[in-house]
Structure 1
Amino acid sequence: MAGLKRLRDGKIAGLYDLDKTLGRGHFAVVKLARHVFTGEKVAVKVIDKTKLDPVARGHLFQEVRCMKLVQHPNVVRLYEVIDTATKLYLILELGDGGDMYDCIMKHDGGLSEEVAKCYFAQIVHAISYCHRLHVVHRDLKPENVVFFEKQGIVKLTDFGFSNRFQPGKTLNTSCGSLAYSAPEILLGDEYDAPAVDIWSLGVILFMLVCGQPPFQEANDSETLTMIMDCKYNVPSHISSACRDLIGRMLQRDPKRRATLEEIEGHDWLKGVDPSPATKMSTPLVSHRSLSEEEHGSIIQRMVLGGIADRDNITEDCLLIPLLCCDFVFQKLCNCLNLSS
């Protein structure tokens, strides 16, 4: 990742205007931002590299590596990585409907099973794709599932604990959130990577239909005991098929947990479209949603910004059929010698 030649207050290399803070962590802050040429809103994860210890640096490297590898309609896209002397900026796709945890908290007793299965099928579809690329998420939880209401879908985000794995070989890094972590991770054992994501999927499904986590006691010690004993109670109104699927994922022994193939083929998910996003061909910014005046304004700003002359912009991006936001990002990066 190449360094930048310039960085102005509230603006990243002249490309994005930073706005309000959306979230905050130990080493990073997530901000709303707007692309100065297209007006497209994005989320920018700003990491303070001076505060990173070797472990955190390793997690950051894996996050970027895995997000660049994973390109799926139900995974939040990483558009750009901008590196400076002290900061790293991850330019991310911005959801417009909040996260799944907030959605669950608005529904006492959980969502209806018909709605829950639509969301859950998409999450499973995304994780199945990740595992085929030998990427394990390791921090699956409702807070890391984001709604894209205009598209009518959900997407996975926050790959901060993700990693590559080799089938048949174990991992040993302890990570994730207590209430969603598999027993073998909490014990500090070596573990089969795909199995820990499947446990977390079981917790997510339980929360979707029940409105609360299966393992959440007054303190962490009691919660840990419940997880190790695999003790949870499914409310009586939950269907037998849904109960069965939850039970197949929340197995203390990872070897007894359902595989992703078994989950996708389970009776509870029969008839549910796991990939509605694949039917959408409209990019983030296109001629379908922009007026001719807006097209002209974008091109004019690109010309004034020194990206290219009008003829080259129009020819390169095939403006008549399509003007895609990704094209704008790439042209800007090529002009400013940024690494993508």
Structure 2
Amino acid sequence: MDQFEVLRVVGRGTAGVVRLCRRWADGELVIVKQVALSSLNKHERQAACNEIEVLDKVKHPNVVSYLDHFIEDGSLMIVMEYADSGSLFDYLQDRQEPLPESTVLRLFVQILIALDHVHKQHVLHRDLKTLNIFLHSNRQVVKIGDFGISKLLDSKSHAQSVVGTPCYISPELLENKAYGPESDVWALGCVLYELMALKRAFDAPNLPALVLKIMEGAVAPLPDTYSAQLQSLVHSMLTVDASVRPTLPAIMAAPVVQTALIDIMTDMCSLRTTPSPRAGKRSTQEPLPSRARVSRARLREWSRIVVVQDRSTTHLAVEQDFKVVTGAVGVGRVFAVTDGGSIRLWRQQNMMLSSSSPSSSSSASSATAAATRGGPKEQGTKAGSTSSAVAPTIPTWVPRRVRGLSSHRVRRMACGRCFAALITDKGLVLTFGRGDGGVLGQGNTTDIPTPTLVPALLGYEAVDVSCGATHTAVITTDSHVFTWGTSTLGALGCGPDTAVASTPRIALRPHSSDTYARVRCGHDATAVVTSGGAVWIAGANRSGRLGVDPARFPTINTFTPWSSLSSHIIDVGIGAHHVAMITRDCTCLTCGDNAWGQLGRNTSNTSSGDSALQPMSGLDDKSLVMVACGLHFTAVVTSNHEVFVCGSMRGKDDKQHAPEPTTHPTTHPTTHPTTQQHHVPRLISLATHTLASAQGGVRHETVVAPSGKKQVVEVHASDHTLLVLLALRVRSAIS
């Protein structure tokens, strides 16, 4: 104890003494718990050591921090963080009037977050009570402590011994039943009741009477100053039947809790007490010529949104100071996320044209511009209004609002067939759209029109998200990959028995020291790119697109490393029958089916595909930094901000435009965007941008070639649509 100045004794028990001390080295106030080992039996010594193990395992801002331990004069000394505002029990004892509901929720939510984190470390507290909950920083921060009787659990075990303070013991413990996290939920319900009533939920003059009250679940009415939703939550947590008691994620998802939960997470900025060592390692990685690197210069610039479909290209009109952080594209939908964290949505509508009117081209062009500016749709119907014949259509993108995000700032976004997922700047995951097949991760198949928090991920901080047609994958800061949704062909990566998951499941855990940097979902497949350049893959192995023989391995049901990789991969795109990868050497490797020319190689059209990764042809002099894949096309971006496309954006069932077998020696011509503007469809106004199409429908096509001070910051693809995000008036590249 020479390194401490003892200030006073703050607690005393049969096993030892708890002292408030000042550390000589830095003047920090700490708690030193002295446990006399000589007076303990074997089980008591084990409990003391268990507290050290648990405290070291469950680091969190809302858990009392373990600092050190040592043995001196036959006693175990445990050094812990000092909470300067006393215990929650003392605070409630001093109260005369009920706490405001907002204060109750602010305190309760912090306990909830801490307990959820503890459970995720496979630890049960087993003695949660107001005496073991401490206040800090003028009672603004709550910390749970006293893990002396906690039990480390593996994923299948249940604690058996009956322990804990009698007033907080759950009914299943009194019946000597096996228990798990449900018992901590009961104790948490008792704490919430005490916060509201300023007295214990269950109390009696003797133990038999107390047991009777607990087994009946009978509690006195709560003050009517509290909302019905909060009172209902308390009673659900104090349900005698443990099987119907809500889980911690379900409690976090309760509407009465969510607002306070978001406020607390915003105030604390993160759920973690220190940066994750894995996240820290990621920040030291060598900058890559990828989306993140290219997009850093765009934040101060004006952005443009370009939608490419088959032979049509549309610039979505936005205000001059519009700045895009990221975007997403789905079937008939385009999303753009602004630097302020809001979302813009455009939905596609087909506008009919008249082939008999000589002015139809110019009229339709004006109508398209008006529609993308949000003008009235009548303007789009004047072109050829006198024609009664069946007329062709062009896509018109109409702006729509996305509601329900006033309290969130969006950082990343992805789009599936009829749903979307997003990540906020606090690492929260929200989903909305059609709920078929559990694609929203909410534990059901209900449609949700506005972005809603995914309850199962509230205890994690997400960093990347991607959506396939019917599934979603998320990477967290602690390098876990969660998947959910529907895939009968293994895209969830959770094994052959998991085709539907309506709540997120851990599909990939950390491996060695490599961290997961990016996740990319495609058609019945998912790829995870590590910071070390490796790729983990799961899903349908159509045409050998996953790098193995499709006859032997038609599906890969659990995430498997791509064993044949010899290059450092920084990005992946997944099509219906092919895969494309960008290497750190700025080349693009492709494999799978080349029936539509989507591999960008001069190879014959085969039905079996090619499982060997090979570079694209005709782009040897280009440095490629991004990739995106649709059903039957591949788009790559060069370091000079050109976008090349190979394959077809037409539907596969469109026999009229089906490509011929690629037997020509010129399937990869070098394009010259400034000299091939005559290939641009006449209905499309590209301003200073050009569209150059090659002959045959399966060649490389320079779709967007910005000139001057313009940059391509991201590309995204859906079935037959390519989304290109541009930054204008770029002053300098920031790397």
- TM > 0.5: yes
Question: Which residue among 245, 252, 265 is the counterpart of 1:257?
Answer: 245
| CA distance, structure 1, for counterparts of residue 247 and residue 184 of structure 2 | 10
Matched, 1:277 2:264: no
Matched, 1:53 2:41: yes
| CA distance, structure 2, for counterparts of residue 84 and residue 101 of structure 1 | 32
Amino acid corresponding to residue 74 of structure 2 in structure 1: T
| CA distance, structure 2, for counterparts of residue 282 and residue 73 of structure 1 | 5
Matched, 1:145 2:136: no
| CA distance, structure 1, for counterparts of residue 213 and residue 102 of structure 2 | 29
| CA distance, structure 1, for counterparts of residue 187 and residue 259 of structure 2 | 23
Matched, 1:64 2:52: yes
Deviates further, 86-95 or 101-110: 101-110
Q: Which residue of 1 aligns with 2:12?
A: 24
| CA distance, structure 1, for counterparts of residue 156 and residue 271 of structure 2 | 36
Q: Residues 44 and 89 of structure 1 are in contact (CA less than 8 Å); yes or no, is this contact kept in structure 2?
A: yes
TM-score normalised to structure 2 length: 0.36
Q: Which residue of 2 aligns with 1:159?
A: 147
| CA distance, structure 1, for counterparts of residue 176 and residue 243 of structure 2 | 17
Question: Which residue among 222, 228, 231 is the counterpart of 1:235?
Answer: 222
Gaps (5+ residues) in structure 1? Answer: 1-11, 284-340
Question: Which residue among 80, 90, 93 is the counterpart of 1:102?
Answer: 90
| CA distance, structure 1, for counterparts of residue 72 and residue 39 of structure 2 | 14
Q: Residues 61 and 272 of structure 2 are in contact (CA less than 8 Å); yes or no, is this contact kept in structure 1?
A: no
Q: Which residue of 2 aligns with 1:217?
A: 204
Q: Residues 133 and 145 of structure 2 are in contact (CA less than 8 Å); yes or no, is this contact kept in structure 1?
A: yes
TM-score normalised to structure 1 length: 0.76
Q: Which has the higher contact order (CA 8 A, sep 6+)?
A: 1
Q: Which residue of 1 aligns with 2:565?
A: none
Shift of residue 233, structure 1, vs aligned partner: 2.0
Q: Which residue of 1 aligns with 2:31?
A: 43
| CA distance, structure 2, for counterparts of residue 204 and residue 67 of structure 1 | 21
Shift of residue 105, structure 1, vs aligned partner: 1.3
| CA distance, structure 1, for counterparts of residue 139 and residue 65 of structure 2 | 14
3-state SS of 2:95 partner: coil
Deviates further, 95-104 or 167-176: 167-176
Q: Residues 109 and 210 of structure 1 are in contact (CA less than 8 Å); yes or no, is this contact kept in structure 2?
A: no
Amino acid corresponding to residue 42 of structure 1 in structure 2: V
Question: Which residue among 49, 62, 80 is the counterpart of 1:92?
Answer: 80
Q: Which residue of 1 aligns with 2:377?
A: none
Q: Residues 234 and 243 of structure 1 are in contact (CA less than 8 Å); yes or no, is this contact kept in structure 2?
A: no
Amino acid corresponding to residue 164 of structure 2 in structure 1: G
Amino acid corresponding to residue 111 of structure 1 in structure 2: L
Deviation string for 1:46-96 (max 9, x for gaps)? Answer: 100011111211211211111010100000101001123511111110011
| CA distance, structure 2, for counterparts of residue 259 and residue 73 of structure 1 | 22
Q: Residues 47 and 88 of structure 1 are in contact (CA less than 8 Å); yes or no, is this contact kept in structure 2?
A: yes
Amino acid corresponding to residue 73 of structure 1 in structure 2: P
Q: Residues 148 and 155 of structure 1 are in contact (CA less than 8 Å); yes or no, is this contact kept in structure 2?
A: yes
Distance 1:203 1:280, change over 3 A: closer
Q: Residues 61 and 273 of structure 2 are in contact (CA less than 8 Å); yes or no, is this contact kept in structure 1?
A: no
Shift of residue 282, structure 1, vs aligned partner: 10
Q: Which residue of 2 aligns with 1:179?
A: 167
Amino acid corresponding to residue 268 of structure 2 in structure 1: A
Deviation string for 1:243-263 (max 9, x for gaps)? Answer: 111111111111111000111
3-state SS of 1:170 partner: coil
User: Percent of aligned pairs with the same residue?
Assistant: 28
Q: Residues 74 and 277 of structure 1 are in contact (CA less than 8 Å); yes or no, is this contact kept in structure 2?
A: no
Matched, 1:194 2:211: no
Q: Which is helix-richer, 1 or 2?
A: 1
Question: Which residue among 46, 64, 88 is the counterpart of 1:76?
Answer: 64
Q: Residues 42 and 94 of structure 1 are in contact (CA less than 8 Å); yes or no, is this contact kept in structure 2?
A: yes
| CA distance, structure 2, for counterparts of residue 281 and residue 55 of structure 1 | 32
User: Which structure has the bigger radius of gyration?
Assistant: 2
Shift of residue 20, structure 1, vs aligned partner: 1.0
| CA distance, structure 2, for counterparts of residue 182 and residue 243 of structure 1 | 19
When the two chains are superposed, the root-mean-square deviation of aligned CA atoms in Å is 1.9
Distance 1:260 1:20, change over 3 A: same
Shift of residue 224, structure 1, vs aligned partner: 1.2
Gaps (5+ residues) in structure 2? Answer: 275-735
Distance 1:282 1:144, change over 3 A: closer
Shift of residue 106, structure 1, vs aligned partner: 1.7
Shift of residue 175, structure 1, vs aligned partner: 0.8
Q: Which residue of 1 aligns with 2:290?
A: none
Counting matched residue pairs gives 270
Q: Which is strand-richer, 1 or 2?
A: 2
Matched, 1:114 2:102: yes
| CA distance, structure 2, for counterparts of residue 141 and residue 174 of structure 1 | 16
Deviation string for 1:210-248 (max 9, x for gaps)? Answer: 111111122222111100111112224132111111111
Shift of residue 269, structure 1, vs aligned partner: 0.9
3-state SS of 2:220 partner: coil
